[in-house]
Amino acid sequence: MSRSDRLRTGSPLRSVGGLALVALLACVMTGCAGAPAWQFADEPGVPVEVDLRYGGTLEGELVGFEEGALIVDHALPKSEDLEGVRMDGRDIVYVAGVATGEAVEIRDFDVVVRERLFPSEYDDARVRSRAYFGWGAAVAAVLAFFLVQLLEEQ
């Protein structure tokens, strides 16, 4: 069989491989579509743990980075040292007489405070994230491998 005949009729292996690829792709798409939707949070934020320079650790949600400062929402338990003062239409939270940040939410047992942390105030910040590797990702990796093998043969 000459090269031109093979190009016209196609290789049986290529046809079977193409059908298998289409079937697997359809299976993956069905599996992904059948899975429940990812739960998105209404508010932005990524879990963060910050080692403060004066000692201690602050855990909360990293909501931004502005003018070189980390902006972190974290909860402070209600106590006698905790005080809120309204200034210029904002609720400023003081702990033991020191301004800590702006009150975001006041709950039964604590107050969520948005605090700006400049690099001079902390030693280390660790952002925690999740990775998801399910059966769809595994199938996609296998498909990508075989697709590369098919393209190399051509």
Do residues 58 and 113 share a domain?
yes
DSSP 123-149: EEEEE-------HHHHHHHHHHHHHHH
The whole-number pLDDT of residue 142 equals 78
- Decide: residue 83, CB within 10 A, 0-12 exposed, 13-18 middle, 19+ buried: middle
Q: Are residues 122 and 135 in the same domain?
A: no
Same domain? 72 vs 86: yes
Neighbours of 115 (CB within 10 A): 21
Specify whether 29 is located in the same domain as 90.
Answer: no
- Same domain, residue pair 16 and 75: no
76 and 20 housed in the same domain: no
- Identify which has the larger pLDDT, 42 or 99: 99
Q: What share of the chain is helix, strand, coil (3-state, %, to 5)?
A: 35, 40, 25
120 and 52: one domain? yes
Which range marks the domain in which residue 147 is found?
Answer: 3-37+131-153
- At residue 111, the pLDDT reads 93
Look up the CATH number of the domain holding residue 108. Answer: 2.30.30
Q: Is the pLDDT at 39 greater than 90, yes or no? A: no
Tens digits of residue pLDDT in 89-114: 899 999 999 999 999 998 889 999 99
pLDDT for residue 154 = 67
- Do 120 and 76 share a structural domain? yes
- Size of the chain in residues: 154
Mark whether 69 and 96 lie in a shared domain.
yes
